[in-house]
Chains A and B, each alone.
Chain A
Amino acid sequence: MLFSALKDDGYGAYAPDPLFLKIPPGWPKPATNIFAKNKLTEQGFQLGKKLFFDGRLSKDNETSCASCHQQFASFSTYDHDLSHGVHNSFSTRNAPALVNLAWMTSLHWDGGVNHIEVQPLAPITATNEMGEQLDSILIKLKKDTVYSRMFKAAFGDPQINSQRMLKALAQYTGSLVSSNSKYDKVKRGEASFNAYEQNGYEVFKARCTGCHKEPLFTDNSFRNNGFALNRFKDIGRQQITNNKKDSLKFKVPTLRNVQVSFPYMHDGHVFSLYQVMEHYRAGIIITQPTLDSSLKNRIPMTNKEKNDVVYFLYTLTDSSFLKDARFAPEQIVMRKYSN
């Protein structure tokens, strides 16, 4: 510390401000501490945020992480079944909401990514997403002295490498905690459900929490919820495990902010929550061998119950999270004509 303070590299002193991931009251501890080997600091978080909104992480210098993970959509792609990659390409899966990632035991719809720090490697290098190579990104970042300054502030010296870039991104994305919805306020005794929401909550607790477990509204498992094999022949979890028993299984998504993260399912082919409810009530293909055992009889619901569950799901919208200035970019970055 003393030595680095004495050695002047022109980027100022190294004095990181530690941050701590707050565990909301009543929530379980995350299965693993994602910040155990990646000390969370204000400077690391700010660097991660800048990277998250920086198009230079992509081949066309315009497609940032935030292009497909928009804050107002709970960091999913608003109103898009599939997200757009570089060169007018389409991804083959719906961009999942980035929320409460510290509590997720694996990432991606198929759970193929085992750690939050290595997740960005997939979209960055996929030709139908950001289409870029790590080496090229590092060259671009090294040209920008703002980054040298920020890497120094976050990590102690201005060296820019892939590990630091990925750790900084994880500090930002891992900090995206949504725990202030109406549901949370009711749980804390600060608000109360109306009659529809309350009825919806009762139905939800009885028929949905087997997979969408409170308070995270996912149990992190992989399940086949009875849709047909899609046009991309996406077999989901089986692609990762090579096990036929995992055919058509996908990660149970969190339902937090589900109102704004439409359309739904791994390929975004279900457009509204009412259609989702109708699928569970009447649409599930019950002949599929890997169908989740809890869905064998579909989920019987009256029309009123169906509507009330949707009212309840709306109480999971956390507007303070969706508008939190802390997660928003410092300024709009226009980069089209630079470089």
Chain B
Amino acid sequence: MIRLNSSIKFYSSVGLLFVAVFTMTLSSFEKAPDKNGTLRIIFINTANGKPVILRDSLYVNAFGEQYSISKLKYYISNVLIPGSGQLPENDSYHLLNAAEANNNFELSLKEGAYNAIQFLLGVDSLRNCTGAQTGGLDPTNDMFWTWNSGYVMFKLEGTSSSSAADLQRIEHHIGGYKGDNIVAKLIHLNFPATQLLQIKEGGTTQLTIELNLDNYWKNAVEIKISETPLCMSTGILAKKMASNFPGLFSVKSIQSKP
């Protein structure tokens, strides 16, 4: 990178960049339309190797603490398939909710074989402070803090005999988008070399990503229900809990359908 000495230089560089992007956009219009296929991304939630079923099963974390789950909701945004030449999805914020039957969304992707996927667990900082939103970010989804603006990025509620909180509650509303309090995490998952993500024109490829709650309690840090039954505001605790986020996800399967 050239060191920019003056704002004029800076703006002219930005100008050049715009021209470059514009030209690229133009040339992409001139080309024959891309051959696109569909990538369907499915999120499944598991604990103790079993699918998470709300208000039903009991699970045990790494510290022997039993718990049940009544709510599990989280945002997935800024999905990017490296090598596809496509920018992260624009304006797409997917609210995954274990209470819903279909926890999936679809992207249109250029034909090809890809070796990784990247996404943000959470909502980027900019979108946390740009006013009233709709779709997955609609405040009616009960994922927006009204008294201290910002999205709850990950919400887990349930009960546990290890919880000393009222009604033996577990209530984890993890959010924060400013400076030291940012909890959103960029997740990068590689596909095995033997099983790349194949996208064929007109076909649908199904990518299943597993969120393993076992790693929610113990991974980079230890989160014991006995010590932390509640986390409902931004700050040091939320940030600590979010440091387990990157370990939550793994690629479960890739299936191509013609």
Contact = CB atoms under 8 A, between A and B. Distances in A.
Interface of A: 34, 37-38, 108, 112-118, 121-122, 124-126, 134-135, 138, 161-163, 166-167, 170, 239-240, 242
Interface string B168-183: 0000000000000100
B146 A115 contact: no
A240 to B, nearest CB: 5
A163 B147 CA distance: 18
B221 interface: no
A135 B149 CA distance: 19
Given A118-B149, A242-B233, A242-B235, A167 B140 contact: no
Interface of B: 128-134, 138-140, 144, 146-150, 181, 233-236
B132 A117 contact: yes
Nearest to B134: A163
A162 B131 CA distance: 12
13 contacts: A38-B131, A113-B149, A114-B129, A115-B129, A115-B149, A121-B139, A121-B144, A121-B146, A162-B134, A162-B138, A166-B132, A240-B148, A242-B181
Given A134-B140, A162-B139, A242-B236, A114 B132 contact: no
Given A112-B149, A115-B131, 7 more contacts: A113-B147, A114-B150, A115-B130, A117-B131, A166-B132, A170-B132, A242-B236
A123 to B, nearest CB: 9
A163 B138 contact: yes
A239 B140 CA distance: 24
A232 to B, nearest CB: 14
Contacts of A117: 131-132
A162 B132 contact: yes
Contacts of A242: 181, 233-236
Contacts of B146: 113, 118, 121-122, 124-126
B129 A163 contact: no
Contacts of A125: 146
Nearest to A138: B140
Contacts of B150: 114
Contacts of B139: 118, 121, 134, 162
A202 to B, nearest CB: 39
Which residue of A114, A125, A135, A170 has the most chain B CB atoms within 10 A of its CB atom? A114
